[in-house]
Amino acid sequence: MKKPFRVRIKQGPILCDGALGTLLDLYEYEELPHEIQNIRNPDIVERIHREYIEAGSEIIETNTFSANCFRLAQFHCQDRIREINLKGVEIARRIAGENVYVAGAVGPIGKLLEPVGKVKHQQARDAFKEQIELLLQGGVDLLMLETFVSIQELDEAIAAAKELTDIPIVAQKAFAEDGAILSGSFPVEIVEHIVEQGVDVVGANCTVGPQRMFSIIRSIHKEGIILSAQPAAGIPTLLDGRSIYHTTPEYLATYAKELVEAGVTLIGGCCGSTPAHIAAMAKAIRGLRVGTPDLKAKPRSVSIGEKPKVSVQLDDRSTFAKNIGKRFMTTVELDIPRGLDMRSVVEGARYLHQRGIDAIDITDGARARLRMSSIAISAMIQREVGIEAMTHLATRDRNLIGLQSEILGAHTFGLRNILCITGDPAAIGDYPHATSVFDVDAIGLIRAVKSMNEGRDLLGNSINHCTSFYIACAANPVADDMDKEMERLDKKVEAGVDVMFTQPVYEMKTLQRFLKCIEHLHTPVMLGILPLRGIKHAEFLHNEVPGMRIPDEIRERMRHAEHGPTVGIEIARTFLKEAKHVVAGAYMMPPFQKYHIVDELLEIIC
């Protein structure tokens, strides 16, 4: 007969099981989500639990890690959340009997929370409550909150659990493989933060192998805190779409012994571990007492709210950033051709540089069309022409890792101005079957760039140096839903925007209405100017391009124009002459590489 978990955990090391998904894949039950096997093949889930118990596990986790409404919705299984969770507990309890503890496994929702993502904190908490209620109803002995990267999301999971129950809670965070955590963003203060939420055991699991896990445990150990560690079986390789792990049971067992001796009480395995690994670990820790690590070499820790020390370069801002607000600024969007030949872009940039334009705008696959990297073109233009670039960067094509890598690369190439956009969906472009990523939208990207300006990545890890980006965003004064547009602009400025670039505007009353709406944001505005070429051009923009509105009187004037381009330029000149006193600058978009149009607009600006 097992003792109450809180009594047992104080009596010495306790062994948890290993990976469930790894075993399901090995046994060729690879259908996702793995939790669906609770219903479709309960016998294989039962077999895995039994194998872990026979290997020596005192705790088995329910096959419910991803069984929350957000994760299940990705596989159109959200309507089976009750069935999946209850069945998962039923299988585990049947095999556990009276001697083994059943832990209700709860993982992240798989979505980013605000302010980085779109999911509200309360939505996350409600999702955790929904799942945890079912696990409690099934009769778990404890809750295992695991593999949380975001402390904020883990806080919501803990809060949800505490609102529902007083059974034991194990809370585990996942860390980066490179161990950068040890130099700044998570040692003992974050452990204390988690413990303060009322959990019984705190620790780490997944993503890192046993050696990295040992380093993490050394950095977070503190007297009076019960620690857990469930390392992955090393770093996997991908073979035919399946993750293959290479860490032997003997190697994992060696570190299991060292982890217990270093202060870990709850020990187990994560991704890649099997009953063979758990059996070796059981043998290695048999008879051990939970020890205390040698803390002499422990790295300096940093509190949650403290910014890591980074190298700061003095005033490495762009010339554009230094001059805006001091004089009327000008940028021109260049037309980016397909392929490798960028001579027209270089020639256009050189022409504009000679005319005193402050920066050229380089778009990032606008309309989801295949074009050369905006960062590559911007770096080339700055190097060959000497004019600064306002580099557009879209979130469509890159995940969070790729986006942040691009930001670092852009800074290394000398780029200092970034216009953050969400981007058009891939479905409307050259490759309609390509995947649109959208890990974050423009607001999340702005926050990432701002974080790097402060010396951190998006999750708060030090990047050792501060970047110096001037951060721009897009704004639409004629959006279909202006309330939504204003809400997003508020969030963009809050996230770190320095300047707004508007969609093309054609009349003063529209501009004045927009400026009135954003006056509380105290953010400079670069006014979008796109001279019309004729009535077909005007009708196309008005009717076929999302976010564009050409006033009726402007279209009517273009309809009766004898020479469309001349009238279009005159409309733009007249509007710009009136508007230049209320904006920080003009963002000009001459159509079809007609860069000479800029000369006529510059006469008004000067």
Q: Domain segments of the chain: what residues?
A: 5-285, 319-605
**Fold equal for 5-285 and 319-605:** yes
**The amino acid at 460:** G
User: Tokens at residue 105, please?
Assistant: 């496994």
Q: Which CATH architecture has domain 319-605?
A: Alpha-Beta Barrel (3.20)
Over 50: is that where the pLDDT of 569 sits? yes
Give tens-digit pLDDT for 254-280: 999 999 999 999 999 999 999 999 999
Q: How confident is the model at residue 241 (pLDDT cuts 50, 70, 90)?
A: low
Model confidence pLDDT, tens digit, residues 310-345: 444 557 899 999 999 999 999 999 999 999 999 999
Q: Is the four-CA dihedral 598, 600, 604, 606 of positive or negative sign?
A: positive
Determine the straight-line distance between the first and last CA of the chain, rounded to whole angstroms. 88
Length of the chain: 606
Q: Are strands 237-239 and 242-244 parallel, antiparallel or unpaired?
A: antiparallel
CATH number of 5-285: 3.20.20.330
Record the tokens describing residue 364, joined without a space. 């990032």
Residue 4 has pLDDT above 70, yes or no: yes
Which residue intervals of 413-454 are DSSP H helices? 442-453
474 near 442, Cβ under 8 Å?
yes
Kindly indicate the confidence band of residue 176, based on its pLDDT and cuts at 50, 70 and 90: low
Confidence band, pLDDT 50/70/90 cuts, at residue 244: confident
Which three-class secondary structure state does DSSP give residue 275?
helix
> Which tokens is 107 given?
């993982």
Q: Is the pLDDT of residue 507 over 70?
A: yes
399 φ, ψ to 5°? -80, 180
**416, amino acid identity:** R
CA 517 to chain centre: 30
Q: How far apart are CA 130 and CA 302, in angstroms?
A: 34
What is the pLDDT, as a whole number, of residue 546?
A: 82
Task: Check whether the bond before 115 is cis (ω within 30° of 0).
Answer: yes
Over residues 37-62, mean pLDDT: 97
591 token code pair: 């159509």
Query: Cα angle vertex 111, ends 107, 115, to 5°?
Result: 120
Instruction: Pinpoint the alpha helices (H) of 187-231.
Output: 188-196, 210-220
Q: Please classify residue 436 by burial: count the beta carbons closer than 10 Å to its beta carbon, then call 0-12 exposed, 13-18 middle and 19+ buried.
A: middle
Torsion sign across C-alpha atoms 206, 207, 212, 215: negative
The mean pLDDT value for 274-298 works out to 82
Q: pTM value?
A: 0.79
